[in-house]
Amino acid sequence: MADPSKLVRPGGASEKRGKPTLRTIADITGLAVTTVSRALADAPQISLETRQRVRQVALEIGYSPDRAAQRLKTGRTNVIAVLLAPHEEILGYGTSVMAGIARALQGTAYHLIVMPNFLDAANIEAVNYIIRNGMADGLIFSRTEPLDPRVKLLSETGFPFVTHGRTELATTHPFVDYDNFTFTYEATRRLIAKGRRKPALISGPSGFTFSGHILHGFMTAVREAGCAYEILSGIDLDSPAGAIRDRIRQRQAEKDPPDGFTCGGEVCALATITGMSDCGLTLGLEYDIVAKQTSPLLGAIQPRVDTIYEDLTETGEHMGRILLRRIGGSTDIGELQLLLDPELRFKPQPAEVS
């Protein structure tokens, strides 16, 4: 039994103010703060009965641990940081992925903080800052380069992270990636299967790993088929819609233009359609497009665009889960890497026009 005289301590049960702390529970149950702490942690050395009683009281008074105090003591921040690149402002990439990450973090003690990248340069500075200042327990970012310096830095430091995208570094690291090789390979094969004789690729922005995959898939398909092909110069998937539209129009005015387009994004597909339309050409008649679909957007337009799906929210959820595993100490690379298959499906369509 606790010495009754100890029940009256400064700042003890007498003060009703403020949110409940371990001490509040200690005062109520007559236990020591330490005991309460360990009881809530389900430490086996605390008797089952005590654990249950403490848990009960905690629930009743609506206790929740002070994050700052926990963080100060343990050094763990319970924070996951996401690096947001400028390109992600468009078309909901960022929000979809974040919603997925947040879903994975749901029910855990982790919060999601967003670090937008204002620097035009690689966001290696931001990464460095996060590591040095211990601002998070884990990091998520996208658009990896084959020899990504962020990945290098994080790997050397041993800081837990997951990338959206692969690298070509010797050291393996956790990632989630979409199989962009298969995407462009299948997309281009579909164009050829539709009878198109000269598929064109709007390539990925240079420097990123996925751009290589996109190119490789395209080249594999056209070489297998032995058909003519073209990689559209002067534009890429990051180009503004207007620029893509102009380039498409311009190319059609020259000789031997392509009659099929592999588009890695929705805005790109839309711009292509518009550019072709400027030239009086109709999708499905004079040319075809196979595009990647990451939002319901293309469902809105006519004529129907043939698409291959990528679920960005699911991607985010996988990244979140993998990061939690990594933070939890897992080094089993098998459960820390994930290559997602393109979902080969036609977009959901509204009722057909009869």
Partner DNA sequence: CGCACAATTTAAAACGTTACAAATCGCCAC
Partner DNA sequence: GTGGCGATTTGTAACGTTTTAAATTGTGCG
Q: How far is the CB of 46 from DNA (least distance, A)?
A: 4
- In whole angstroms, give the CA distance from residue 35 to residue 210: 52
Secondary structure (3-state) at 331: coil
Which of the choices DNA, a copy of itself, none does residue 90 contact, using the CB cut-off of 5 to 8 A by kind?
a copy of itself
Residues 209-268 touching DNA, rule: CB under 7 A, are none
Contacts of 300 (CB under 8 A, 6+ apart): none
The amino acid at residue 131 is I
CA-to-CA distance for 202 and 218, rounded, in angstroms? 10
Cis peptide before 258 (omega within 30 of 0): no
Place of tokens 């207007």: 242
Assigned token pair, 287: 């040319």
Smallest separation (angstroms) from DNA to the CB of 6: 6
Among residues 267, 283, 322, 336, the one that binds a copy of itself under rule CB under 8 A: 267
Q: State the minimum distance, in angstroms, from the CB of residue 123 to a copy of itself.
A: 13
- Identify any residues that bridge with 290 across adjacent strands, giving them in sequence order: 262, 306
Give the interface segment with DNA, choosing from 64-72, 240-248, 313-321, 339-347 (CB under 7 A): 64-72
Residue of the chain from 42, 60, 66, 335 that contacts a copy of itself (CB under 8 A): 66
Q: Which of 7, 8, 11, 60 binds DNA (CB under 7 A)?
A: 11
Which of DNA, a copy of itself, none does residue 33 bind to, with CB < 5 to 8 Å depending on kind?
A: DNA
d(CA 294, CA 290): 13
Between residue 86 and residue 125, which ones bind DNA under the rule CB under 7 A? none
**C-alpha closest to that of 182 among 91, 262, 296:** 262
Q: Distance between CA 251 and CA 270 in Å, rounded?
A: 16
8 Å CB contact between 179 and 292:
no
Give kind and range of the element (H or E) at residue 96: helix 93-105
337 sits near DNA (criterion: CB under 7 A): no
Residue 55 touches DNA, criterion: CB under 7 A: no
Binding test (CB under 7 A) with DNA, winner from 5, 16, 45, 331 = 45
Among 4, 59, 72, 170, binds DNA (CB under 7 A): 72
Using alpha carbons, select from 18, 16, 17, 57 the residue that is nearest to residue 36.
57
Q: How far apart are CA 314 and CA 320, in angstroms?
A: 10
Q: How far is the CB of 129 from DNA (least distance, A)?
A: 15
Residues whose CB is less than 8 angstroms from the CB of residue 181 and which lie 6 or more positions away in sequence, other chains included: 213, 214, 216, 217, 220
11, interface contact from DNA, a copy of itself, none, CB < 5-8 Å by kind: DNA
Distances (CA, A) of 297 to 186, 291, 315: 21, 12, 19
Segment 329 to 348, residues that bind a copy of itself, using CB under 8 A: 348
User: 31 or 200, CB closer to DNA?
Assistant: 31
Q: By CB under 7 A, is residue 60 in contact with DNA?
A: no
Fill in the per-residue mask, 17 to 56: x = in contact with a copy of itself (CB under 8 A), - = not in contact.
--x-------------------------------------
Cβ pair 266, 306 in contact under 8 A:
no
Binding site for DNA (CB under 7 A): 2-3, 6, 10-11, 18, 21-23, 30-35, 37-38, 40-41, 45-47, 49-50, 63, 65-66, 69-70, 72-74
Binding site for a copy of itself (CB under 8 A): 19, 62, 64, 66-69, 71-72, 77, 79, 84, 86, 88-96, 98-99, 102-103, 106, 111-116, 118, 132-135, 240-246, 249, 267, 270-271, 273-274, 277-278, 295-297, 299-302, 313, 348-351, 353
